[in-house]
Amino acid sequence: MNTGHQKYIPFQPIEKAGRRWPNRQISQAPIWCSVDLRDGNQALVNPMNLQEKLEMFQLLCGIGVKEIEVGFPSASETEYETLRALIDGGLIPDDVAIQVLVQAREHLIRKTFEAIEGAKNVIVHFYNSTSTLQRKVVFRTDMQGIVEIATNGARLIKQLGDAFAARTGARLRYEYSPESYMGTEPENAVWVCREVMKIMEASPANRIILNLPSTVENCMPNQFADLIEDFCDRLPNRESAIISLHPHNDRGTATATAELGLLAGAERLEGTLFGNGERTGNCDMVTVALNMYTQAIDPKLDFGDINRIRDFYERVTKLRVHERHPYAGDLVFTAFSGSHQDAINKGHAWMREHPGDYWEIPYLPLDPADVGRQYEPVVRINSQSGKGGAAFVMEHVFGYRLPKAMHPEFGAAVQRYCEQAGREITPDEILQIFRQEYVNYNGLYRLISYKLSEVIDTDGESAVHFEGRVQRNGDPVVAIEGDGNGPINAACNALNHLGLEGYRFVDYAEHAVGAGADATGVAYIQVESPVGRKLFGVGMSHNINTAAVRGVLCAVNRDLG
Ligand code: KIV
Ligand code: ZN
């Protein structure tokens, strides 16, 4: 038996009575801070180059992010250059704050202030690790020593920061992260933050950002929410701090950690696009924001063109957004299962019949159009797809509204094709099947010409007289004629002249495809064969009568074929 699990130390949840967060709901967007250019970039096999970083910055501004961590300028020359390029190039909008990260160490702090010279709106973010584990194995010091690292850093930052703001008139704010907060004893986390707050003279008018990172996610989201609520309750002068989260995704629950953490009192969230970041990544801002959106909350971030954002992200990070990534993956607005396709179809019909304010389509929690995705790929077709899927594609991609009774027949034709192909098929292939199976069906009989006339009998009743010329294979052309109460009936009856007695017209639907001068009529004709087999024929023509007559012959040909 594998006993490997025994070497792990389980997370110790805090004892907590009267928790309030489970009864709350998220009602507004947090303050978003992107760490794509720092935490995200530092985790890339090939970090972004200067040009890509500038483009990423502009993309984030376009999405609406107002706080952007640009880098760790004291630790890397390229990050220093990026910062200078942004500032010197005048690329930072006035309402966007750049955030710079620095360890709570003197020489790094001084270099950071050099890097931000000329910036108007800056968050200086300093951190040191506080967890029990880091204290033991990395710093080999006690909590007192850790608090001293933080407070020494805070003192210098405050001194240099005040001077910088006074000299340049810049808006300068401070952020402190007790790094690896999630592994820090709750009282120690409060202790270090409280001491830093005092030095930074945090006040309700001048709030410090206290960022509580799940540097390595180590507990369930509810346990983390307990920590956050407890922290907020214990922190003196709580109103002088903005509580920020920085979840990593080691347990795959960064989104839930963020959401429950917001319920527990946090007001700000650091994350990245599509969750890029160290190891399993940072919290994915796209998912958290669109989760809010689908709960009718304005996330204050614009993901209206998700494909463009995704393409850019994939280009600069050389990472791939998974096909099933929430809201952004290639397959997330796709249904393969027949019952899902059918329900989506019905949902679309419902919304057409009941135009209203709400999105009510089963299996689609988000209107794909809201993220700039098309309806076309909503339903994709493989051999598992149901009868409605192919009809959906025909209607939504190509504008053919196949009558409901025709769906099983066409669906079966598509399924046969898929089984042979052994793969998913494209909308173009579906159209091809439709053409081969119906419109261009190469059958026994070919219509050469026809004429319709209206006949009024002695009782004043009108009937339609059909005269046509048809050819069977290469045989001589034969003339046929018949009467009926309409063109289709008359054409059906005329087929008697070919010795095809017994075909009965069952149903008929028509509509136009295309618009204006290019519009073409399409007629779907259902007939019953002499042995009681019901099947469809389709005819197309600018003249709707011709379309119908072709449809009749198509149905007969298919039956004979
Ligand atoms: O994950 C982390 O703890 C960090 C800090 C520097 C905020 O990235
Ligand atoms: Zn991080």
**pLDDT single digits (tens) 13-51:** 999 999 999 999 999 999 999 999 999 999 999 999 999
* Residue 497 predicted with pLDDT over 80: no
User: What pLDDT, on a 0 to 100 scale, did the predictor assign at position 323?
Assistant: 85
Confidence at 376, pLDDT banded by 50, 70, 90: very low
Atom 1 of ligand 1, nearest CA residue: 215
Q: If you ran DSSP here, which 8-state letter would residue 438 be given?
A: I
- Cα(246) to ligand 1 centroid in Å equals 7
Q: What is the token pair recorded at 175?
A: 């952020």
- Cα 324 to Cα 98: distance, rounded to the nearest angstrom: 32
| Predicted pLDDT at 238 | 98
Per-residue pLDDT at 535: 95
Measure the CA–CA gap between 281 and 248, rounded to whole angstroms: 6
Q: Above 90 in pLDDT, residue 502?
A: no
Residue 405 CA to ligand 1 center (angstroms) comes to 60
Q: What is the pLDDT of residues 85-94, one digit of tens each?
A: 999 999 999 9
Q: Whose CA is nearest to atom 4 of ligand 1?
A: 215
Mutate to test the pocket of ligand 1, among 36, 38, 246 (most ligand atoms within 8 A of CB): 246
Distances 69 to 129, 224, 390 between C-alpha atoms, Å: 19, 24, 47
Ligand 1 atom closest to Cα of 248? 1
Position 338 pLDDT exceeds 80: no
pLDDT exceeds cutoff 80 at 385:
no
Closest CA to 87 of 209, 208, 170: 170
Beta-carbon-side half-sphere exposure of residue 273 (alpha carbons within 13 Å)? 32
pLDDT for 374: 65
Q: Which residue has the tokens 């519009």?
A: 519
* 275 phi-psi bin (left φ>0, alpha ψ -120 to 50, beta other): left
Q: Which residues have C-beta under 5 Å from ligand 2, the single-atom ion?
A: 39
Residue at 74: amino acid letter: S
Q: Strands 97-103, 462-472: parallel, antiparallel or unpaired by DSSP?
A: unpaired
Q: How far does the centroid of ligand 2 lie from the alpha carbon of residue 141, in Å?
A: 23
Q: What's the average model confidence in pLDDT over 434-462?
A: 89
- Please state, for a pLDDT cut of 70, what percent of the chain lies above it: 99
Mark 349-382 as b/e (b = at least 16 C-beta within 10 Å): eeeeeeeeeeeebebbbbebeebebebebbbbbb
Strand 478-484 to strand 462-472: parallel, antiparallel, or no bridges (unpaired)? antiparallel
Residue 404 has pLDDT above 70, yes or no: yes
Q: Answer whether 344's CB lies under 8 Å from 392's CB.
A: yes
Q: Within 13 Å, how many C-alpha atoms sit on residue 353's CB side?
A: 7
Rounded to the nearest angstrom, the distance between the alpha carbon of 271 and the centre of ligand 2 is 8
Residue in this structure with the two tokens 């002068």, named with its chain if needed: 237
Q: Is the pLDDT of residue 375 over 80?
A: no
User: Does 445-560 carry CATH code 3.30.160.270?
Assistant: yes
Question: Full-prediction pTM beyond 0.85?
Answer: no
- Out of 82-86, 182-186, 310-314, 460-464, which region has the weakest mean confidence (pLDDT)? 460-464
How far does the centroid of ligand 2 lie from the alpha carbon of residue 278, in Å? 7
Cβ density class 445-454: b for 16+ within 10 Å, e for less: bebeebebee
CATH class as words, domain 25-317: alpha beta
Q: Residue 238 carries which side chain, given as an amino acid letter?
A: R
Instruction: Output the six-digit token pair for 423.
Output: 């793969």
Q: Are 531 and 511 in contact (CB under 8 A)?
A: no
- Per-residue model confidence (pLDDT) at position 455: 86
180: left (phi over 0), alpha (psi -120 to 50) or beta: left
Where helices occur in 64-142 by DSSP H, the ranges are 77-88, 106-115, 132-134
**Which residue in this structure is represented by tokens 């690896």?**
180
Closest among 421, 416, 480 to 448, alpha carbons compared: 480
- Does the C-beta of 388 come closer than 6 Å to ligand 1? no
pLDDT band at residue 378, thresholds of 50, 70 and 90?
Answer: low
Q: Which of 19, 11, 14, 20 is nearest to 220 (CA)?
A: 11
Q: Give residue 134 CA to ligand 1 midpoint distance, Å.
A: 13
Strands 534-541 and 520-528, how do they pair? antiparallel
Which residue is associated with the tokens 């795959």?
252
Give tens-digit pLDDT for 108-120. Answer: 999 999 999 999 9
Residue closest via CA to ligand 1's atom 3 equals 215
Please report, in angstroms and rounded to a whole number, the separation of the first and last CA atoms in the chain. 64
Q: What does residue 212 show for φ and ψ, rounded to 5 degrees?
A: -110, 90
The pLDDT confidence band at residue 171, using thresholds 50, 70 and 90, is very high
3-state SS of 336-380 is CCHHHHHHHHHHHHHHHHCCCCCCCCCCCCCCHHHHCCCCHHHEC
**What are the tokens at 489?**
């009936």
Mean pLDDT of 189-208: 98
Q: Is residue 56 within 8 Å of residue 37, measured between CB atoms?
A: yes
Is 246's C-beta closer than 6 angstroms to any atom of ligand 1? yes
Domain ranges of the chain: 25-317, 338-436, 445-560
Confidence of residue 499 (pLDDT cuts 50, 70, 90): confident
Handedness of CA 459, 463, 467, 472 (dihedral sign): negative
**Which numbered atom of ligand 1 lies nearest the CA of 181?**
3
Helix (H) or strand (E) segment spanning residue 209: strand 208-214
Counting ligands in written order, the one closest to the CA of 129 is 1
- Amino acid identity of 491? A
E strand or H helix that includes residue 506: strand 504-513
| Centroid of ligand 2 to alpha carbon of 282 (angstroms) | 7
pLDDT at 266 over 80: yes
What token pair was written down for 397? 């991609």
pLDDT in tens, 289-302: 999 999 999 999 99
pLDDT of residue 3: 87
Q: Is 127 left (phi over 0), alpha (psi -120 to 50) or beta?
A: beta
Look at the block and give the residue holding tokens 């009558």.
403
Contact 526, 535 (CB under 8 A): yes
Q: How confident is the model over 91-150, as pLDDT tens digits?
A: 999 999 999 999 989 999 999 999 999 999 999 999 999 999 999 999 999 999 999 999
d(CA 255, CA 275): 9
The closest of 241, 145, 160 to 193, measured between CA atoms, is 241
